[in-house]
């Protein structure tokens, strides 16, 4: 048994490292552990590597859109292994860099799988550690699938580390992972199929814009098969057969690779939460608004492994890590300091397809269901100068405005470069700006930001 820590953090991703660094900077004795190299999902197996691989696809697509407009593709192609090297040029340095930063801030780092052995105690590979408080920041993992042959599927981590791409990939599930990966793989010449059991994919996004994205996706050569469930996957002499059911009709899709894009759940397996009386549900550790466990006051949770109103996104993991740290610090002072709660207002989210699909604030349907009197400004922006310039054929904006106050309630954007534009709408919603106030912004010209005023 080692000496007691003020805080022990399980998981060295964005939520865990943010909290560990903050508490260590206040003089706390902090321990942190990860079963995998330090850095977490975003930097090593998610956002960052994905967007590096997407860059290759962007170049191909940009040249393709400029065909006949002065650009000849002349055998332009993705050299996947070189692109993968470019990705590793970033990811390989992350674990040591992150660990060095933690150590530099006075945090004690451990490697291995942690599991609770008591309310104030955990074990890492046979060694027990005691702490006054714990932060569970263990992230998420792919949702278990039950159809026969599910063991043949690879997950997003495997996809982002493939040394070579095969000819045919089937993506199971119509969420952001399948769409983003299919958009990358298709530009590298892979024959891609996305299967989704629902009648529309990307359900958290605006349905009108999703419909346009599906059309653009299909124009790229990706097949999107909706209302289709996977019955099973079998190995054949040449690859894999994915048997699917569409409206009672069974058929088979041949593939070389089948990728799990059917959702992620909080990763709590193996933590032995019962040993520390920590309640959890399918969405993660059950916490109060202050991110404290409802059943063990010594435990907090943040990021993808906490059951909070926040989406499983990096910025959310970061600010939840900050809030958990600040509440633990406040609770330890005499008199007890003021606690805070995460502010989930106007967190933007993007599907990094080409072009990208973005959302911030509420959907049109949510506004109508709440009985709000709204003005919906839906504009096809594909003919606008900024899209004409790059040859993009699919782009639109839908802005939801409260009629009474003129405040912006939601913004939904599909178009090249709009992942930057959505941040401005996020700020406008957070600050409660009216559409008139936002329209008064002067943007540099000709930039995509200059389109914002005309979207309102
Ligand atoms: C393919 C992909 C693409 C994504 N793209 C984006 C994007 O573009 N933008 C965005 O905002 N978000 C994106 N996300 C989501 C984002 O990566 C996560 O929301 C974020 O990384 C969550 O951070 P976290 O700190 O909660 O968990 P993580 O970063 O997952 O860290 C948890 C850590 O805990 C460790 N761990 C788990 N159990 C134990 C244990 N028992 N003992 C020790 N260690 C343990 C894990 O090894 C892991 O390193 C993406 C996710 C994926 C999978």
155 lies in the same domain as 243:
yes
What average pLDDT does this structure show over 309-327? Answer: 98
Q: What percentage of the chain carries pLDDT values higher than 70?
A: 99
Residues 318 and 365 in one domain: no
Identify whether residues 126 and 9 lie together within a single domain.
yes
Query: What is the position in ligand 1's atom list of the atom closest to the CA of 115?
Result: 41
Contact 307, 284 (CB under 8 A): yes
Mean pLDDT value of segment 294-317 = 98
For 345, the token pair is 């207002």
pLDDT digits (tens, 9 = 90+) for 355-389: 999 999 999 999 999 999 999 999 999 999 999 99
Residue 152 scores a pLDDT above 70: yes
Residue after which a domain boundary falls, among 333, 365, 393:
333
Q: Which of 9, 10, 11 to mutate to test the pocket of ligand 1 (most atoms within 8 A of CB)?
A: 11
- Do both 138 and 272 map to the same domain? yes
Which of 30-34, 178-182, 331-335 comes out lowest in average pLDDT?
331-335
The verdict on 327 and 207 lying in the same domain is no
So what's the pLDDT on residue 6? 98
Structural domain tally of the chain?
A: 3
Cβ of residue 261 lying under 6 Å from some atom of ligand 1: no
* Residue nearest atom 35 in ligand 1 by C-alpha distance: 11
CATH number of the domain where residue 418 is located: 3.30.390.30
Best mutation site among 8, 9, 10, 13 for ligand 1, i.e. most ligand atoms within 8 A of its Cβ?
13
33 close to ligand 1 (CB < 6 Angstrom): yes
> What confidence score (pLDDT) does residue 314 get?
98
C-alpha span between 190 and 56 (Å, rounded): 14
Predicted confidence (pLDDT) at residue 1 exceeds the cutoff of 60 = no
Q: Kindly state the average pLDDT of the residues 285-296.
A: 98
Q: What is the pLDDT of residues 59-85, one digit of tens each?
A: 999 999 999 999 999 999 999 999 999
What's the burial of 188, exposed, middle or buried (CB within 10 Å: 0-12/13-18/19+)?
Answer: middle
| Count of residues making up the chain | 456
Task: Tell me what the mean pLDDT of segment 295-313 comes to.
Answer: 98
pLDDT band at 266 (very low <50, low <70, confident <90, very high): very high
The whole model's pTM is what? Answer: 0.97
pLDDT 10s digits, 237-264: 999 999 999 999 999 999 999 999 999 9
Look at residue 73 and tell me if it is in a domain. Answer: no
Rounded average pLDDT over 334-340 = 93
Q: Does the pLDDT value for residue 311 go beyond 70? A: yes
Range of the domain at 189: 150-262
Same domain, 258 and 155: yes
> Are both 125 and 238 inside the same structural domain?
no
Kindly give the number of the ligand 1 atom that is closest to the alpha carbon of 14.
Answer: 25
CATH number at residue 90: 3.50.50.60
Is residue 55 assigned to a domain?
Answer: no
**Atom number in ligand 1 closest to CA 160:** 1
Q: What is the mean pLDDT of the chain?
A: 97
Determine the distance separating the centroid of ligand 1 and the alpha carbon of 304, expressed in angstroms: 7
- Residue 63 domain flag: no
Q: Are residues 404 and 432 in the same domain?
A: yes
Q: What is the pLDDT of residue 159?
A: 98
Asked, for residue 8, whether it belongs to a domain, the answer is: yes
Per-position DSSP letters for 208-253, written without gaps between them: HHHHHHHHHHHHTT-EEE-SEEEEEEEE-SSSEEEEEEETTEEEEE
* Residue 180 and residue 250 in one domain: yes
Same domain assignment for residues 273 and 317: yes
Report yes or no on 78 lying in a domain. no
Q: Are 206 and 376 in contact (CB under 8 A)?
A: no
Rounded CA-CA distance 286/450 in Å is 44
pLDDT for 2: 53
Q: Are residues 32 and 127 in the same domain?
A: yes
Is 59 within the bounds of a domain? no
Q: For ligand 1, what atom is nearest to the CA of residue 140?
A: 30
8 and 128 together in one domain: yes
């Amino acid at each position: 048994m080692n000496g007691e820590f003020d805080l022990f953090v399980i998981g060295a991703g964005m939520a865990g490292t943010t909290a560990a660094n903050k508490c260590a900077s206040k003089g706390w004795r902090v321990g942190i552990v990860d079963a995998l190299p330090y850095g977490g999902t975003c930097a090593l197996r998610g956002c960052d590597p994905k967007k590096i691989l997407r860059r290759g696809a962007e170049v191909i697509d940009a040249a393709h859109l400029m065909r006949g407009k002065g650009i000849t593709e002349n055998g332009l192609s993705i050299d996947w292994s070189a692109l993968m090297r470019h990705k590793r040029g970033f990811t390989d340095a992350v674990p040591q860099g992150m660990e060095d930063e933690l150590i530099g801030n006075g945090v004690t780092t451990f490697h291995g799988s942690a599991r609770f052995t008591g309310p104030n105690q955990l074990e890492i590979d046979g060694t027990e550690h005691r702490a006054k408080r714990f932060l569970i920041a263990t992230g998420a993992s792919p949702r278990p699938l039950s159809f026969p042959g599910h063991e043949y599927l690879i997950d997003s981590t495997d996809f982002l580390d493939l040394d070579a791409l095969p000819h045919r990939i089937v993506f199971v599930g119509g969420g952001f992972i399948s769409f983003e990966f299919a958009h990358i793989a298709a530009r590298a010449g892979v024959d891609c199929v996305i299967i989704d059991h629902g009648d529309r994919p990307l359900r958290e996004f605006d349905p009108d814009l999703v419909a346009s994205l599906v059309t653009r996706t299909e124009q790229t050569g990706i097949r999107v098969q909706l209302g289709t469930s996977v019955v099973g996957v079998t190995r054949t002499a040449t690859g894999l057969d994915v048997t699917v059911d569409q409206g009672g009709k069974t058929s088979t899709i041949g593939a070389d690779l089948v990728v799990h894009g059917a959702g992620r759940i909080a990763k709590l397996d193996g933590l032995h939460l019962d040993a520390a009386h920590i309640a959890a549900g399918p969405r993660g550790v059950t916490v109060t608004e202050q991110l404290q466990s409802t059943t063990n006051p010594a435990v907090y949770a943040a990021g993808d492994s906490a059951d909070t109103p926040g989406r499983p996104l990096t910025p959310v993991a970061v600010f939840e890590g900050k809030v958990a740290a600040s509440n633990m610090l406040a609770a330890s002072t005499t008199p007890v300091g003021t606690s805070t709660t995460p502010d989930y207002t106007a967190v933007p989210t993007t599907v990094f397809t080409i072009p990208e699909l973005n959302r911030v604030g509420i959907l049109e349907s949510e506004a109508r269901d709440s009985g709000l009197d709204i003005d919906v400004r839906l504009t096809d922006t594909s003919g606008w100068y900024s899209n004409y310039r790059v040859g993009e054929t699919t782009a639109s904006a839908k802005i939801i405005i409260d009629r009474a106050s003129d405040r912006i309630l939601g913004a939904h954007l599909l178009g090249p470069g709009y992942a930057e534009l959505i941040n401005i709408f996020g700020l406008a919603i957070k600050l409660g700006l009216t559409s008139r106030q936002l329209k008064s912004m002067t943007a540099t010209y000709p930039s995509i930001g200059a389109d914002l005023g005309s979207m309102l």
